[in-house]
A and B are shown apart, each in its own frame.
Chain A
């Protein structure tokens, strides 16, 4: 399992691995929002948490089809499916690699970019915590979507349509937690809901992903 993780991280960091894709997209969206909303710092501060969460979610979505499509094309998945490593474990590792290469840079960049959006000082802790708790769910659900669409050439559109509805609960509770802490309110409930969603999909989704991948490899 560690070999697979190391390989995926190494591939992501080498040329053409798409490591910076999500981060660059996140950066562009957040930098452009103040231009489109206008110079109203009070309004920006109110929408900052929601904008940051939405941008992070879309940045995650952008890199989903890379999780499995390349391994499918070059035959790696066929060999992995016959390897002693269970496919459920292999897909969990791939989701973890996606989280480490895509979501963790977003979590690190979010507080810096939040300055641009005039996020109230009280909201930084809640923003980072909600992203840390919520993004694992995005990666795991995304891996399921990638497994569903793996045989389809240019399946990006279908993948987005399938995955976005599944992302909605994470977005609602994540943005709610960040917003409540920015308003100086208690954010415990949405954070707990968010952690519950992440724990639930972490436990169950790999089985669903492996099942649909087995069908797609036929």
Chain B
């Protein structure tokens, strides 16, 4: 089933940031979001993932099918790498974490506490979590932050394998992952706020 987003408007902190965004993803497809800092990529991804309501527009085909990876990895410093993954696997109703460990070269680190990992290793563990969710749509916000070149290749391979298995991926990133993916630049959809609209949406006076 496709993911369809039609005429979506999203807001952050009560202010609209993007409007009229439409996109669609079929199984096996990936879409890369681009746009300068603060252009609303994160807000758009969070809205599509269902973490916040849209101002207008529709998202269909996303219900219970999205694995979201934001800036934070959702890891516990005092749990080991495999304990962290096993927990997320159990929450999402899957069992096998070995493939996810292997895909991101985490096997030698499996018994280390997540708190003792480097930033790049933590990021790899955060991305390995996507594999154990078993969900078809990956919504990724800057997934390659703090990854080195080898790890970026691992990540691109994981995305390719996911797409080859009929998955979908929506990725906000600035670097070229070498994926055959369509690119959506959000810049034309940015909302330019004038003074009147700023005043009208001041939450303190609502």
Q: Is A154 close to B, CB under 8 A?
A: no
Cβ-neighbour of B90 out of A3, A81, A218 (below 8 A): A3
Asked whether A74 lies within 8 Å of B73 as measured between CB atoms, the reply is yes
The bracket for how many chain A residues form the interface is 20 to 34
Q: Cα distance A15–B78 when bound, in Å?
A: 7
Complex Cα–Cα for A76 and B73 (A): 7
Shortest A91–chain B CB gap in Å is 14
List, in ascending order, chain A residues with CB within 8 A of B71's CB: 75
Residues of A within 8 A of B49 (CB): 82
Check if B79 is an interface residue, CB within 8 A of chain A. Answer: yes
Asked if residues A84 and B78 are in contact (CB atoms below 8 Å), the reply is no
Pairwise interchain contact B72-A75, C-beta atoms closer than 8 A: yes
User: Once the chains bind, are A11 and B78 in contact (CB under 8 Å)?
Assistant: yes
| Chain A residues with CB under 8 A of B46 | 78, 218
Are A17 and B78 touching (Cβ within 8 A)? yes
8 Å CB contact of A78 from B64, B74, B78: B74
CB distance from B145 to the nearest CB of A (A): 13
B-side contacts of A80, CB under 8 Å: 91
A47 interfacial contact with B, CB 8 Å? no
Give chain B's interface residues, CB within 8 Å of chain A: 46, 49-53, 64, 66-68, 70-76, 78-79, 83, 86-88, 90-93, 129
What are the 10 tightest A-B residue pairs by CB atom distance, in nearest-first order? A75-B72, A3-B90, A218-B52, A75-B74, A14-B78, A76-B74, A79-B74, A7-B87, A83-B91, A82-B68
